[in-house]
Amino acid sequence: MSAILDIGGVFAGYGAGDILKGVDLTVERGTITCLIGPNGAGKSTVLKTVSGLLRPSRGSVVFDGTEINRLTPKARLRLGIVHVPQERSLFPAMTVRDNLLMGGYLVKDSAVVYARMEEAMKAFPICRSRAAEHAGSLSGGEQKQVELARTLILDPTLILLDEPSIGLDPKSRQIVFESIRSLSASGRTILLVEQNARSGLAVSDFGAVLESGRVRLVATGARLLEDPEVARLYLGGGAVPAVASGTRHTETASTEEDY
Amino acid sequence: MHALVQGVILGVLTGGVYALMASGQTLIFGIMKVVNLAQGAMVVMSAYLSYQLFVSFGVDPFLAIPVTTVVMFGVGVGVQLVFLRPLRRDDKSELSLLVTFAVALLIEGLLSITFKTTYRSINTSYANSSWTVGGYQITVVRVYAFALSLVSLGLLFLLLNRTRFGRAVRATVQNPDSARLLGVESEKVAALGFGLGAATAAAAGSVYGLLYPFYSGSHYDLISRLLSIVVLGGLGSVGGAVVAAVIVSTSSAVVASTVSPAWSEMTFFVILLLVLLVRPQGLFGKVGRGAL
């Protein structure tokens, strides 16, 4: 397993002061890594520094061996880094089909876009059955599925998912997490921010605890779920056996804890 | 009854032309949240271009449209890049009112210097021709103008709904942040969108020059009508602008032909006020962001 993303000593913020205060995080290729932590810890800010919406004031972001600090968001998209923000990001008065096509805006060859749209529709059948409907008429869970499907049109290497389950009912949440697993099964790397830490870790290979702008702990998702301290602070209760929660435990992964 | 039907025919045909002018106006607002007070001046400028091509080279105003469209597209892109792009994002909508009004005055000044301030009109061989259908007079120019408006609006619809650029424009209108995350360069879309809005003024200008005498200051009357139509239809809604243009134009024409031309202008604004009392967002406008 090799690193696809290496964030080293990153400081970043929105003007008043740095929110990220020396973030170090390595994301292994083909895995799901879940960032958890309290509100204001900087989880979404980490995603923004990777997608280029925010430039770090210090530190480096290395993607697939290349430092990308100075690249524009558009250039990072071309490299295969796709960011799905926390807020609804579909175009509500456009059809589901047009929303998917917008996912391939940077792909010049329309034949490639249509072929990928076909694949996305296979992976997310809701996109085919509701293709001609306005995206705004879909439920929250359905919209999130279309957002995930739209990422596939760019054939991404790294998908940044910010709070994909926020505001969804339990059934929709389950579907979304299953979709995330299937995205990962197709070989894509996923960096996930999830307020619902228990569900996020359950679907992830690795978890990282972010607190006050720094990564405090990195371990497998299973180990974090079993950690009583993590459970008390971030999971709202006691630890849960990995098997019971359906965790993707990767025994071969490097799991050193780094406080 | 005869006057009523005659009024409806005239109103619908004229409404098509106003729909074309207003579609550009609302498109620009939808993309950039810019109320383009220069749209009327751009229509008048296009009318002068058509006039000059007709007088100097004998080019029919309808045939001149491809040329004037390219010129006005360039003017629109230029105005956006030079005058609007440098505005700060925070107060762009407010400042754009002043800036586009200044552009309107600039265009008016240049036209006054070049063509003086005397009224001009484009007198083609068919300018005064009309058909009589079932006892009703239908002027040839208005029918041609209406057909041209339908074709132009149809092309605009296809451009917005069937092309990659059109999708990017609609996406930018509906969710600019998300569009940027997908690689859409909003500044580029804004410049091209402004150019597109100005380009609709080209076809409208040719028709305007055929239908009415005009001079460099004609844009004041035009812009008040266009703003009323755009607000009535719902800011940012092209379909709303088309419906509003036909409603307003038809009701004005009906009042003019059945009551008195003196009340015609007032009808226009009474309808606007009544609709806004019931639907402050206009007929097809969304509360908040518009949707093309």
CA separation (Å) from A240 to A80, A174, A202, B79, B197? 35, 18, 10, 62, 60
How large is the angle between the packed helices B238-258 and B2-32, nearest 10 degrees?
150
Q: What is the pLDDT of residue B54?
A: 96
Residue B129: helix, strand or coil by DSSP?
Answer: coil
| Distance (Å) from the alpha carbon of B175 to chain A's nearest alpha carbon | 6
For residue A208, the SS3 value is strand
CB B245 within 8 A of CB B233: yes
H or E element at residue A110:
helix A110-123
* CB contact set of B94 (below 8 Å; sequence gap of 6+): none
Residue position matching structure tokens 């301290």: A229
Q: How confident is the model at residue B284 (pLDDT cuts 50, 70, 90)?
A: confident
Cα gap A219→A238, rounded to integer Å = 18
Check CB contact under 8 Å for B181 and A73. yes
Q: What is the pLDDT of residues A181-222, one digit of tens each?
A: 999 998 999 999 998 889 999 999 999 999 999 999 999 999
For domain A1-80+157-167+185-254, which CATH number applies: 3.40.50.300, 3.90.1170.50, 3.40.50.2300, 3.60.15.10? Answer: 3.40.50.300
Give phi and psi for B119, each to the nearest 5. Answer: -65, 140
In tens, the pLDDT along B260-275 reads 888 888 887 888 888 8
Give the domains, in start order, of chain B with CATH numbers.
2-122+129-278 (1.10.3470)
Cβ contacts of A164 within 8 Å, gap of 6 or more: A84, A144, A147, A148, A176, A177, A180, A192, A194
Closest residue to B182, CB basis, from A93, A103, A110 = A103
Q: Residue A246: its pLDDT value, please?
A: 45
Please state, in angstroms and rounded to a whole number, the distance separating the CA atoms of residues B264 and B147: 25
Q: Mean pLDDT for chain B?
A: 88
- Whether the CB of B182 is below 8 Å from some CB of chain A: the reply is yes
B7 to chain A, closest Cα gap in Å: 36
Contact A231, A225 (CB under 8 A): yes
Residues of B in contact with A90 (CB under 8 A): 175, 178
Q: Which of the residues B161, B167, B181 would you substitute to probe the A interface, choosing the one with the greatest number of A C-beta atoms within 10 Å?
A: B181
pLDDT band of B175, cuts 50, 70, 90 = confident
Give the minimum alpha-carbon distance from B168 to chain A in angstroms, rounded to a whole number: 7
What part of B 147-166 touches A (C-beta under 8 Å)? 164
Query: What predicted TM-score, i.e. pTM, was given to this entire model?
Result: 0.77
Find the residue in A nearest to B292 (Cα): A93
Judged by a CB distance cut-off of 8 A, whether residue B289 touches chain A is no
Look at A89 and B175 and tell me if their CB atoms are within 8 Å.
yes
If we measure between CA atoms, which residue out of B11, B16, B37, B8 comes closest to residue B203?
Answer: B16
CB-based contact B171 A90, cutoff 8 Å = no
Question: Nearest Cα to B186, choosing from B200, B170, B199?
Answer: B170
Q: For an interface test with B, which of A78, A105, A112, A153 has the most B Cβ atoms less than 10 Å from its Cβ? A: A105
